[in-house]
């Protein structure tokens, strides 16, 4: 499973369409159902901020997940090493210099939040900026 796919699985319920379809963060969410089929009811948006706040409440480590991709990954129990972040950057089509980790980290946090929103997450604008 991709790193972004793992992020989805940690935040979204297992029954959520974001977890039941292959996670391709570069592609917009789309269904492959025939046009004649009745559209399925859209799932309730997942309140990403509430899920992450609840996870933070259950850990003794103070993590700045609202602005730090490293802390967000730690909160989700993921490898937050530079190599893991470079892999995530590749998954999300980062075109900048991966050796400039500060710029890459800022971009990654924003991109992850935008992709969570694109996959059915309710993400406040404050987390996408």
Judged against a pLDDT cut of 60, whether residue 39 lies above it is answered with no
Determine the average pLDDT of the residues in 31-58.
74
What does the radius of gyration of the chain's CA atoms come to, in whole angstroms? 15
Per domain, the residue ranges of the chain are 3-18+45-124
Instruction: Give which of 63, 104, 64 is closest to 82, Cα–Cα.
Output: 104
Q: Residue 85 has what pLDDT?
A: 98
The reported pTM is: 0.81
């Amino acid at each position: 499973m991709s790193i972004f796919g793992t992020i989805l699985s940690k935040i979204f319920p297992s029954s959520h369409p974001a977890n039941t379809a292959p996670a391709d963060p570069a592609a917009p969410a789309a269904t492959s159902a025939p046009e004649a089929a009745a559209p399925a009811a859209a799932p309730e948006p997942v309140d990403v901020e509430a899920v992450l706040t609840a996870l933070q409440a259950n850990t003794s480590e103070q993590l700045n997940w609202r602005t730090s991709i490293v802390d967000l990954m730690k909160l989700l129990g993921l490898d937050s090493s530079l190599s893991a972040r470079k892999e995530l950057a590749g998954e999300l089509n980062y075109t900048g210099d991966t050796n400039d980790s500060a710029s890459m980290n800022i971009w990654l946090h924003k991109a992850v939040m935008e992709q969570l929103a694109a996959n059915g997450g309710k993400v406040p604008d404050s987390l996408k900026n």
